[in-house]
Amino acid sequence: MKEDKTTERKSDESSQKPDMLKLAKSSSKINLLTPILYGLTVIGLNILYFHLSNQGVSTSNLALIFVFMFALSIILVRRIKNPYIEAISLCAFAESVLMLSQVIIAVPLVVILGNNANDPVWTMIYQALVYTLSALVVILYSKKFISSWKTNREELGLKGLPTFTDIGLGIAGFILTLLISGVVSNVMTQIFPWFDVNETQNVGYDYLSTGLDRAVAFIALVIIAPIAEELVFRGWLYGKLRKKHKIALSLILTSVLFGALHGQWNVGVTVGIMSTIMCAQREITGTAYSGMITHMLKNGVAFYILYILA
């Protein structure tokens, strides 16, 4: 009798194994399908934004896209425990905060100042406020939405102080950015006729007529922007991604997002390559300091070409 019961138990277990395997396979398909659909949704929202902005849709209406993206990034992380869902949400959250910060700061400035909002000094104040607000929300207040997004100095890449190694790698990263982006841009022009390597980047300054104008623009573009962007992208975002993912995925997501946010193909390619190099610097040193130096040098050269030589 005991042998019969043992045999029956074994037969029951063996009959359940195929069902368990099917369940596991279906579960893995769901786990893989959901991040893919989510990623395509975020890409679609960005395409919609660029299309509508080119059609002249108002800024307030465009902001609704990023309000939706902001809410979606938080809801999905809370509802679905999946590392790839969280990776996409980290990117969507950082992007939506940066874009919404621009609207939140720009609207009252335009209402109060009117056409004077285009003055270089006010443009610098606007950019400083946007970077400050977005960095504060991403770094300090993201934990209010998702508790695991709480961060620290080490995760932000701010451990210790800059070293001579950081300075050396920062200069080397800048040189590599120029060389690699030059080659890639040249290849792009050969493959894609529409790729304009000489398209001028709109950095927000219509004119710089005085020394004061140039000084405030220099502070905004060469000092404030690199520090704030490195804290958000190669600091918070890359640091969070690397906690659960390998270098390749973390680097690709960070760099593609950073390039796309610049809104132009020629600029996006250059800064995407620069981001890849700065992520590598972060891996080597464990800090974001060398990336900040590379970023400052790149923006400094661009500023000189655009506003001093021109």
Quick one: pLDDT at residue 91?
96
Predicted confidence at residue 26, as pLDDT, reads 44
The b-or-e profile of 284-294 (16+ CB within 10 A means b, else e) is ebebbbbbbbb
**Sign of the Cα pseudo-torsion (42, 45, 51, 53, in order):** negative
User: Nearest to residue 68, comparing CAs of 93, 104, 86?
Assistant: 93
Residue tagged 């969507």 (tokens): 92
C-alpha span between 149 and 138 (Å, rounded): 9
CA 144 – CA 1 distance, rounded (Å): 61
Alpha carbon distance 79, 72 (integer Å): 10
- State the pLDDT at residue 59: 79
The two tokens of residue 40 are: 């395509």
* Backbone CA torsion sign across 133, 236, 221, 290: positive
- Residue numbers of the chain with a pLDDT score lower than 70: 1-30, 206-207, 310
| Residue 265 confidence (pLDDT) | 87
* Residue whose tokens read 């508790």: 147
Q: What are the residue ranges spanned by the domains of the chain?
A: 1-142, 151-310
Q: Say if residues 153 and 160 touch (Cβ distance below 8 Å).
A: no
